[in-house]
Chains A and B, each alone.
Chain A
Amino acid sequence: MRKVLKLSAIDYKRRWNKPVLVLIYILSPVLITLIMWFAFGGDGSDSGFSPIKIAIVNNDKGKIISDFLEGAFSHEKAKKYINASSVSYDKAMELINNRKVSAVIIIPKKFSDRLIKRENTEMKLIKNPTEIIYPMIAETGMNILKDGANYILTIFGEEIETIRKAVDDKKNIDSAMFKNLYDSIEPKIKKIIPLFKDKKIKIEELTEKRKKTSFVIYIFAGMSFFFLFFISNAILNDMVKERNKFIIKRLFLSELKKSEYFFSRILSSIIFVFTIEIILAITGRLLFNLKTNNIFWLLITLIVSSVTLTVLSATIMGLSNNERQVNTLGMIFVFFFAILGGSLIPVSALPPSLSKFSVVSPLFYITESVISLVIGRMERFYNMIFVSFLISLFLLFLSYFLNIKALKKVVK
């Protein structure tokens, strides 16, 4: 045991030999979270989204429907999120080709007439291929407006031709025609108005109000574990490096046992990762107000997660014969587990076909443990931390077996 502790202490000391590298690993998740924090208004202020830029080419002369669509985009509330400008076709093409707008909506000629005559017509949408989210939002918005317009046409389809004539030719409004129109529209409006007046349809927001920081914890916890996984890989990389050097033989020519060597490396890595986790936890508390009153469980979570990351890295080392294999396998494991585990993208944002595989990533359980603890979902936390513990135990056995086998190839 004394040898394990001595070798661990020496190994731990060696880790601080490159403080700049350690600092980079600590700062990386903090900086990324800070960027996200400001970008998405994580402090609870207005969204940091810049408005979606849309160009509208209105070729319609009829005006009624197209003005409705164009007007919808310039609505006061919509203007906060959508910056729509009415331009010519050529200008719109120039804007989309230069990636200056997220989408172009083209309203064709005789659009209103055709709608009024209840003929099929279509608006055209050109999306900016270099963007993903904004054009999708523009398309969704356009579909909502299309459905709205179709709904209005369905209700007032019979009267709309008369209305158009009345608007187009104000001088020749026939009082009989007006009366007929009024008689026809009035009952329909009477039926619709109460829906709006009495606010029969309401939206109640059930989003948890207690934690404004829950969005940040996803980013911060995920990013931290992503970089901590790199750290544990970098620490344990020495196990593979040493296997190809005389130093490993020299170590075993002393009375050191293979198991003592393995556990000393594991212990130093756990302590080092845990140290960085403590630094990150304090940083998270100070910068992003991420905190929990449950200090005991926080410590347990940090210990279990540092063990999980260490034994996961040790498994990679046990599977690798040289540094090149460590780098290749390390990268594959880090990104595979990080993507599936919600370190890079929250699991909820993953496509369903991918998110169902999150359960295979040890990073998923440790990230979810921290998140659940911070946002106070204790039942989920207990489940996650328990599974993390079981995974750590399994990986500890696996990595022990693989590394001892690899050592036996090098030293008798």
Chain B
Amino acid sequence: MLTVKNIKKSYGEVEALKGISFEVKRGEIFGLLGPNGAGKTTAISILTSLIEPDSGSAFYEEKNIFSNTKWWRKKIGVVPQEIAFYEELTAKDNLMLWAALYGMGESEAKERADYLLNLMELGSKEKAKVSEFSGGMKRRLNIAIGIIHKPEVLFLDEPTVGIDVQARVNIRELLKKFVDGNMAIIYTTHQLEEAEELCDRIAIMDEGEIKAQGTLKELISNLGEELEVEFSGVFDLDKVEKIIGEKPELKLIKLSEEKIVVEVDAEEIIPETVELFMKKKVMINTMDIKRPNLETLFLKLTGKELREQ
């Protein structure tokens, strides 16, 4: 288990990390979800021994990773945001190079490289130069290099940044394939759907702090049972305000001549509300029910729309 305790890091006046703590178990994908500048990459850089923290500690198998850097580097794999390999070479050459640098023997390296090329669906492009690859293929090779030496802890720092939706979905599918019970994964992203789909537990980060962490279910349950209902049509504002005022179960969020947004405690109140509007001759064109999700949680915790990032 990787245990991170109260890590802080500042760059001059700027506090990049204000004391983050979390735990990651073997076989678990732990997501660090946050907008750009939240401190995710700083956290990864510290935990991969690339930069030193100002304070705090981190342990793996009860060993301090900051004072056992050499040992720790053998245990980890890193997949950076940046494409970090030699594009003039083939995918296999790149994999063989990193395997050699990790001290793997020639035959072992070849076997592992072939396995990863197939796993990452790059087998058919084995002899092509990487410079001829698509963005998605380069990302897949970037990941393959990160796991060439079978690390116990894998850090993935926004591994799907800058590629199209289809390639991103493809990479998510591939990631699920190689996750097994032995590897702990720390996955940073600012994509809500990635965090929701891939991560067993998620920490929501903003401005160098972890605002909340837990499983997706635990995080959403913190929001309560409220549902947000959005009606669209052409509305008489006074009339609508009066109707809503008569029904205490409805909490008005937003009202305009085209849109009414209300919050309700329970789902059964929604048909009652629609009936009331019909009775009072308030014409509704469409209705949309929003259930609590990671996005609403993120908005509540940080006051920011993550999709805007």
Interface of A with B (CB < 8 Å)? 2-3, 6-7, 10, 13-14, 17, 245-247, 249-251, 253-256, 411-412
Contacts and interface: CB of A to CB of B under 8 A. Distances in A.
B52 interface: yes
A14 B130 CA distance: 12
A6 B103 contact: no
Contacts of A253: 48-50, 73, 76, 78
In order of increasing CB-CB distance, the 6 nearest A-B pairs are A254-B101, A17-B88, A246-B82, A6-B100, A247-B84, A246-B84
Nearest to B145: A250
A352 B86 CA distance: 48
Contact of A6 (B73, B74, B97): B97
B211 to A, nearest CB: 28
A3 B93 CA distance: 14
Which of A249, A256, A412 has the most B CB atoms < 10 Å from its CB?
A: A249
17 contacts: A3-B100, A7-B101, A10-B93, A13-B88, A13-B93, A14-B89, A245-B84, A246-B80, A247-B86, A249-B78, A250-B78, A253-B49, A253-B76, A254-B101, A254-B102, A255-B74, A412-B50
A412 B69 contact: yes
B130 to A, nearest CB: 11
Given A14-B86, A412-B52, A255 B73 contact: yes
A251 B81 CA distance: 15
Contacts of B169: none
Interface in B58-107: 69-70, 73-74, 76, 78, 80-82, 84-86, 88-89, 93, 97-98, 100-103
Contacts of A13: 88-89, 93
Contact of B82 (A3, A14, A245): A245
B163 interface: no
A253 B69 CA distance: 10
Nearest to B155: A253
Contacts of B74: 255
Contacts of A255: 70, 73-74, 101-103
Interface in B11-54: 48-52
Given A250-B80, A250-B84, A2 B102 contact: no
A16 to B, nearest CB: 9
Contacts of A2: 100
B84 A254 contact: no
A256 B98 CA distance: 10
Contacts of A251: 101
B50 A411 contact: yes
Contacts of B93: 10, 13
A255 B71 CA distance: 10
Nearest to B70: A255
Contacts of B69: 412
A412 B73 CA distance: 12
A326 to B, nearest CB: 19
A365 to B, nearest CB: 34
Contact of A3 (B76, B81, B101): B101
A218 B136 CA distance: 53
B116 to A, nearest CB: 16
B191 to A, nearest CB: 20
Nearest to A6: B100
Contacts of A3: 100-101
A256 B101 CA distance: 6
A14 B88 contact: yes
A254 B50 contact: no
A201 to B, nearest CB: 67
A17 B93 CA distance: 14
Contacts of A17: 88, 129
A253 B98 CA distance: 10
A145 to B, nearest CB: 65
Interface in B238-268: none
Given A250-B145, A411-B50, A412-B50, A10 B86 contact: yes
Contacts of B149: 254
A247 B89 contact: no
B67 to A, nearest CB: 13
B109 to A, nearest CB: 10
Contacts of A246: 80-82, 84
B149 to A, nearest CB: 8
A254 B96 CA distance: 13
A157 B97 CA distance: 90
Contacts of A247: 82, 84-86
Interface in B110-155: 129, 145, 149
A267 to B, nearest CB: 15
A264 to B, nearest CB: 10
A283 to B, nearest CB: 26
Which of A6, A246, A250, A255 has the most CB atoms of chain B within a 10 A radius of its CB? Answer: A250
A245 B83 CA distance: 9
A254 B70 CA distance: 9
A245 B82 CA distance: 8
Contacts of B88: 13-14, 17
Given A13-B88, A249-B84, 20 more contacts: A2-B100, A3-B100, A7-B97, A7-B100, A10-B86, A10-B93, A14-B88, A17-B88, A17-B129, A245-B82, A245-B84, A247-B82, A247-B85, A253-B48, A253-B49, A254-B98, A254-B101, A255-B73, A255-B101, A256-B101
Nearest to B48: A253
B49 A412 contact: yes
A412 B149 CA distance: 21
Question: Which among A14, A251, A254, A256 has the highest number of chain B CB atoms within 10 Å?
Answer: A254
Nearest to B129: A17
Contacts of A411: 50
Nearest to B82: A246
A10 B48 contact: no
A253 B48 CA distance: 8
A6 B97 CA distance: 7
Contacts of B101: 3, 6-7, 251, 254-256
A388 B81 CA distance: 45
Contacts of A249: 50, 78, 80, 84
Contacts of B73: 253-255
A254 B75 CA distance: 10
B133 to A, nearest CB: 15
A163 B70 CA distance: 104
A297 to B, nearest CB: 36
A245 B87 CA distance: 14
